[in-house]
Amino acid sequence: MVLPFKHEPFTDFKKEENKKAFEAALRSVRGELGRDYPLVINGEKIYTEDKLIAINSAKKEEVVGNVSKATKEHVEQAFKAAVDAFETWRKVPAADRAHVLFRAAAYVRRRKHEYSAWLVQDAGKPWNQADADIAEGIDFLEYYGRQMLELDKGKHVEDRFTESNTYFYKAMGPGVAIPPWNFAFAIVCGTVAAPLVAGNPVLLKPSENTPVIAYKLVEAFEAAGLPKGVLHFVPGDPKEIGDYLVDHKDTHYINFTGSRATGVRIFERAAKIQEGQQHLKRVIAEMGGKDTIIVDETADLDLAAESIVHSAFGFSGQKCSACSRAIVHEDVYDEVIEKSIDIAKTLTVGNPSEENVYMASVINQAQFDKIKNYIEIGKEEGELAFGGETDDSEGFYVYPTIFKDLDPKARLMQEEIFGPVVAFAKAKDFDELLEIANNTEYGLTGAVISTDRTRLERAREDFHVGNLYFNRGCTAAIVGYQPFGGFKMSGTDSKAGGPDYLQHFLEAKNVTEQF
């Protein structure tokens, strides 16, 4: 019997026993830093001389792991094995495939602090963010397993008295998962688990920034009894193998989360039919956001400030759902900014492998330089109200930064920064609040802080985002509760963690038998 889905609870680090347990996990993980990690192709571990060097972004001289790099030849080997494995994996009963996910979830759950500690090292995540990331990965495993059990029942269609009709779902074929570094376990887990449980082999190319925690997921699936050939671990240089994975004739789907530029490139390349290809590739893409919280004059202003600050600065703003724009009614504009600054002043910044801080480093030098450049742009486009400090002497630290008095069309208001920078602009009424909120090419998340029910209901229809929140922040979607994905240039509105997601990796088939 499979129990109903239940969200994995977060760890309360205010409890001394949890704090000590996590500190012990960090010590244990630090003892394993600098190890070599292999490719995994058809169940075989392959070590290469050429390595991805994963570093701790909070302490950049610290090597987390040396991960073997796949070449095109390795990718070709993986595809051949995946095509062979598809013939058996697709016929494995859905219940058995689902229980592989359930066993993987149990494996990670038993090692939750250990996995979170790896995230602290590999992705620079503060404790609570790392813990939530692992919990979300567990949720994906549990939720998608249950969704497959439901979809395996098929759907009802009508019969005529001379015939019987059945409507059911079947697997598509091998495909590619290309997840990002910011949710280096949760999204990796979700983008792999969904096609796997649907009966499709997966070639996993993790971010070159966070390959070690991705390998830990592969270990979990191996421990859960996933047959060889179903999941292949092929980290590598995107310039060397990225296009090859997308273009390959045996790729049936590309499950991607990342930048707009890369997502559009994948979409374009996937549309081309390769020699020997007999299917149209599906692209499931989540491509970022420029997310807005709007605050009207009826709002609880303490709630507004708290929602803005924590949505903007959680995980140093490195979330596609992060609040990077706050549009506030002119009557309460100055007060909301003052309250936001007061909260931002309390946020701690440091190395999460050494202490439980609110914010840590950003992921790498390139991202640090990009954010630093946007801070300089912000000084020209508006007024720096708080923060703006950066420091890359030991790690890649960008401190909480607030700009005010921005023009709605300014670069800081339009371009995705992916860092701890939030820009404020004012509006004269609710019409203008909504107009500014909708004026970007993105449509991922947004929030409305208001006590006016009429305005909330209007925003329900007219605020054009895939995930809209009332009287709370615009981040922290929970699997099974807030299916995630956006409109416009935020992607294909995949609704990860929702009831429709697995159908991206399945084909519907109807069989009619006449009597």
DSSP at 336: H
Cβ neighbors of 392 (< 8 A, separation 6 or more) are 60, 365, 368
If DSSP states are collapsed to H, E and C, what string results for 432-500? HHHHHHCCCCEECEEEEECCCHHHHHHHHHHCCCCEEEECCCCCCCCCCCCCECCEECCECCCCECCCC
| Whether 73 is catalytic | no
Helix axes 127-151, 94-110, angle to 10 degrees: 160
Phi–psi pair at 189, nearest 5 degrees? -60, -45
**Tokens coding 309:** 């600050």
CA atoms within 13 A on the CB side of 284: 28
Given 136, 142, 320, 381, the catalytic residue? 320
Q: In which region does residue 176 sit, left (phi positive, over 0), alpha (psi from -120 to 50) or beta (all else)?
A: beta
117: nearest Cα among 36, 188, 24, 187:
24
Alpha-carbon torsion (495, 132, 202, 317), positive or negative: positive
| Whether 354 is catalytic | no
Using alpha carbons, list the distances in angstroms from residue 243 to 206, 262, 267: 14, 10, 11
Task: Output Rg (C-alpha) for the chain, integer angstroms.
Answer: 23
DSSP at 279: S
Helix axes 16-30, 112-123, angle to 10 degrees: 60
123: nearest Cα among 417, 367, 371:
367
**Burial of 272: CB neighbours in 10 Å, binned 0-12, 13-18, 19+:** exposed
What ranges make up the beta strands (E) of 253-353? 253-257, 282-286, 291-295, 323-329
**Secondary-structure breakdown of the chain: helix, strand, coil percentages, each rounded to the nearest 5:** 40, 20, 40
Phi–psi pair at 167, nearest 5 degrees? -125, 120
**Tokens coding 208:** 């070159």
Residues composing the chain = 515
The dihedral formed by the CA atoms of 385, 391, 395 and 397, expressed in degrees to the nearest 10:
0
Given 8, 114, 142, 286, the catalytic residue? 286
Does an H or E element contain 512, and which?
Answer: strand 506-514
Cβ neighbors of 48 (< 8 A, separation 6 or more) are 39, 68, 69, 70, 71, 74
**Tokens coding 373:** 């450049």
* Catalytic residue positions, numbered: 286, 320
